Structure 1
Amino acid sequence: MTDRPDILCIGSVLWDVIGRSASAMRAGSDVPGRITRLPGGVALNIAMAMARAGLRPALLSSVGRDAEGDELVAACAALTLETAYLYRSDDLPTDRYMAVEGANGLIAAIADAHSLEAAGDKILRPLSDGRLGTAEAPFAGTVALDGNLTQMLLERIATDPALARADLRVAPASPGKAERLLPFLTHPRAVLYVNLEEASLLAQRGFTDSATAAEALVARGAKRVLVTDGGNPAAEAAAGQPTIGRQPPEVLVTRVTGAGDTFMAAHIAAERDGADRAQALARALDTAAQYVSGDTSL
């Protein structure tokens, strides 16, 4: 356990199949565009962004021993990501995510993370068998966790002794999975990264701006919350501290899938570099803006 990774990324590691068009779209649209397949998933997106920032991330997830899984693991290794801790299943296929994006943003998406959910706590074995830690010697670094895990597994992670000293950074993966993060809403070591819709679902009330949403979640017991709202101001609220906000840079949006993951990774990296709250928020927004404009690669 001497060669520890800088951060553990726990959650979805899969193939992203993204269809993008320069045209505005609606339900039923049939337009020309480009279809790409890229390594993706919330945990993997965060890990890739961390690697670009010069850090050493390790992946904890489930990847099948099928051809797609072998190809995905090879792609991750080529990106200098630590894949040795992945759970490789003989009978579960490699997961996939499919999305359609138009000039007016995300039109629709389907996340097929059934293998990750079926693998359950097998993906956490390195945290208890001594490779990354044990209950008696918990992992004490940063953990990026996504809501593609089952509610039961997230509840276990929230109280797992093997993570009793970890700095937990948590994202819901999608609005449809936001309520899975409830075990972390009042967690003393969790930082939540959500968008405005996800904040509304967690708080069970609607919000029109990020600052109000972040403050409401802190009022409900959250230690610290960052709320984004697309091109509108983002905000961070923390218990016992003033709320801060910042307007994202105005850019031409060419892609949206992975933007929130890029924001989260850049914010964590900035704080590891010693940035204060305002500096970290600014750096995260700038990095996410570069990403959605197409100025950085996956």
Structure 2
Amino acid sequence: MIKSIDILCIGSVLWDVVGRSPSVMRLGSDVPGRIERLPGGVAMNIAMTLARFGMTPALLTAIGRDREGDELMIEAQNMGLVTDYVYRSEDLPTDSYMAVEGANGLIAAIADAHSLEQAGAKIITAMGDGRLGDEATPYNGLIALDGNLTVDLLRKISSSPLFASADLRVAPASPGKADRLLALLGHPVATLYVNLEEANLLTRRDCTSSEQAALALIERGAKRVLVTDGGKSASDATADRVITKQPPSVLVTRVTGAGDTFMAAHIAAERRGETRDDALETALNAAATYVSGEHPR
């Protein structure tokens, strides 16, 4: 029997291979550190954090029918995530992500989400075949959507009646894929979660603060945006109000997944009924705890 679902997490679910060193790293650095493999991907990171906050997320993604995929499905189920709607491909391998982090932050990363991209609209089949809704009775709950999807699929989602009644929360996969969100910039029910660099890429501006960037996105047609700027500030903007808060000061020990943690914590806080001001503060505190290494992934 399928568990009651609180939110759909649509996008990348893969294996993260992350190498971390306490040393400052430069191009060509060869230093001691730790390498670990963990469940990851934007949709997965958000879902895992939501589960820690007591919510029941369902994954809509593509996972291969290989050993890595079987292991990933088991990991997801063990964390309480609903995997009944995952598209399992016979011929596409399970996706992966590789990153190197030093004391000076993220050094480099490569995201191999080609299977997700090739699967395309197959990952959202359940949205229209009656399992999660159809055009007559579309899904009307929370959806977390990540920018690893192709531009064509994001455009399809932006105009599809299957998503018109949902509370759509959207995050780019990385600055390199931020421009994919242009397809959803003017969506009437979408809330965008971006960092300052991604906001500047979307607006073609050179904003220097989260508040300035958030206002620029609203001017471009966004209904609501949340813009983060590392340890400096974060802003929640709509056409009638902008809220800006400072995150706690912590020692940063990791960065991969911090933005996803912020987004998930914010969604969970609002679902609990917290005000916009309180939800932003809750999300900043959760992200600070995460990057400090105090909370395991």
TM range (shorter): over 0.9
Looking at structure 1, the residues matched to 3 and 75 of structure 2 have their Cα atoms a distance apart, in angstroms, of 22
Does structure 1 residue 81 correspond to structure 2 residue 76? no
1:256 and 2:261 matched: no
Paired position in structure 2 for 1:52? 52
Which secondary structure state, in structure 2, belongs to the residue aligned with residue 158 of structure 1? helix
Name the CA distance, whole Å, in 2 between partners of 1:203 and 1:68.
38
Q: Are 1:4 and 1:132, in contact at CA under 8 Å, matched by a contact in 2? A: no
Which segment is superposed worse, 154-163 or 136-145?
Answer: 154-163
- Partners of 1:87 and 1:118 in 2: how far apart? 12
Residue aligning to 1:164 = 164
How far 1:2 sits from its partner (Å)?
A: 9.1
State whether structure 2 residue 287 is matched by structure 1 residue 291.
no
Query: In structure 2, do the counterparts of structure 1 residues 119 and 15 end up closer, same or farther at CA, with 3 Å as the change threshold?
Result: same
Which 4+ runs in 1 deviate beyond 6 A? Answer: none
Q: 1:192 aligns to what?
A: 192
Q: Deviations over 1:17-68 (max 9, x none)?
A: 0000000111111100000000000000000000000000000000000000
Question: Secondary structure of the equivalent of 1:232?
Answer: coil
Aligned position for 2:131: 131
**RMSD of equivalent CA atoms:** 1.1
Please state whether the residue corresponding to 2:17 is helix, strand or coil.
strand
**Structure 1: segments with no counterpart, 5+ residues:** none
Q: What are the Cα deviations for residues 225-283 of structure 1, in whole angstroms up to 9, with x where unaligned?
A: 11001111111111122x11111101111110000000000000000011111100000
Q: 1:59-74 residue pairs with structure 2 within 5 A? A: 59-74=59-74
Taking structure 1 as the reference length, the TM-score comes to 0.98
Structure 2: any 5+ residue segments left out of the alignment? none
| Secondary structure of residue in 1 paired with 2:233 | strand
TM-score (norm 2): 0.98
Matched, 1:273 2:283: no
For residues 239-250 of structure 1, the aligned pairs below 5 Å read: 239-241=239-241, 243-250=242-249
The number of residue pairs the alignment matches comes to: 297
Report percent identity of matched pairs: 67
- Contact (CA 8 Å) 1:167, 1:189: kept in 2 or not? yes
How far apart are the structure 1 equivalents of 2:296 and 2:222? 33
8 A contact 1:158–1:183 mirrored in 2? yes
Q: What is the deviation of 1:162?
A: 1.3
8 Å CA contact 2:226, 2:236 repeated in 1: yes
